[in-house]
Amino acid sequence: MKAVIPAAGLGTRLLPMTKNMPKEMLPVVDKPAIQYVVEEAISSGINDIVIITGRGKEVIENHFDIAYELERILEERNDLEKLKEIKRIAELADIYYIRQKKALGLGHAIYVARKYVGNETFAVLLGDDIIFAKEPCIKQLLNIYKKFNTSIIAVQKVDKSLVSRYGIIDGEEIEKGIYKIKNLVEKPDIEEAPTNIAIMGRYIFTPTLFECIEKTPPGKNNEIQLTDALNILLKKEDIYAYEFEGKRYDIGDKFDWLRINIEIALQREEFREKMLKLMNELIR
């Protein structure tokens, strides 16, 4: 299966950090955010990846490419551990890049991958959503896909006050944590949200989605919304939502970005004691 990773967003919520730096390249402890997403696809058995980029996103390509000069310097210094890690990143997967020339929305960003994907079911992992789970989130969706053979969307329940940040689904729970979707709304106001079940940036789609995006007029924020295209898809095929196990962070949000750095640092042996000591001191 192929994976599409949209990473063309402007990152305006993170300004000024993202004035000249793609949000997907922001560090999470010691790796750029998008590397976690690429590694999730790979550890789920997906090695054929296309990243949708735009102007100013070239550093993403450089990150996953061979860095000859750096490799030579690390070799000269005999810094083999760093050399191994730098080489590993360049060998992770077959990664292709397609540019979305205009920021016309998430639906459109996925649409530009249609020729690369062809007539096959494919995975989508949003480049600014990081999910930590025992079993990678996209793997969990693939397991559900095997059972239903149709499009599957990752969801989690959120506090009712947060529904306007997400695509929200309405559906019937047919098994524990599995919903047959009836309707989807992109970023509704609290009063209009049918549920608090929010879409979380991991999807498995049948290729029928592409013809639905073609028919999708601009929606919320005047962008071609994936959620609107899914309502069109729903008229042709069933779509299921799966409440996955795992913790999700939105790198596009300043506080979430700070939070993930602290939480991940606390999980790393090399930082844990120092971090706890620092936090205790600060609280005191």
Q: Which residues bind ligand G1P (CB under 6 A)?
A: 106, 126, 129, 166-167, 186, 198-201, 226-227, 250, 252
**Min dist. Cβ of residue 198 to ligand G1P (A):** 6
The residue sitting closest to ligand G1P, measured at its beta carbon, is: 167
Task: Closer to ligand G1P by CB, 142 or 168: give it.
Answer: 168
Task: Closer to ligand G1P by CB, 40 or 129: give it.
Answer: 129
Task: Closer to ligand G1P by CB, 50 or 230: give it.
Answer: 230
- Residue 204 makes CB contacts below 8 A (sequence gap 6+) with 121, 122, 123, 124, 138, 141, 142, 144, 145, 151, 152
- Residue 142 makes CB contacts below 8 A (sequence gap 6+) with 1, 44, 45, 123, 204
**Min dist. Cβ of residue 90 to ligand G1P (A):** 28
CA 280 – CA 109 distance, rounded (Å): 44
Task: Closer to ligand G1P by CB, 74 or 226: give it.
Answer: 226
**Min dist. Cβ of residue 129 to ligand G1P (A):** 5
Q: What is the CA radius of gyration of the chain?
A: 19
**Min dist. Cβ of residue 221 to ligand G1P (A):** 8
Task: Closer to ligand G1P by CB, 215 or 268: give it.
Answer: 215
Bridge partner residues of 241 (DSSP):
153, 179
End-to-end CA distance of the chain: 51
Token pair of 114 as six digits: 């249609």
Neighbours of 75 (CB within 10 A): 11
**Min dist. Cβ of residue 75 to ligand G1P (A):** 40
CA 7 to chain centre: 8
CA 215 – CA 237 distance, rounded (Å): 16
Task: Closer to ligand G1P by CB, 126 or 138: give it.
Answer: 126
**Min dist. Cβ of residue 11 to ligand G1P (A):** 10
Q: Amino acid identity of 75?
A: E
**Min dist. Cβ of residue 77 to ligand G1P (A):** 40
Task: Closer to ligand G1P by CB, 4 or 74: give it.
Answer: 4
CA 59 – CA 127 distance, rounded (Å): 14
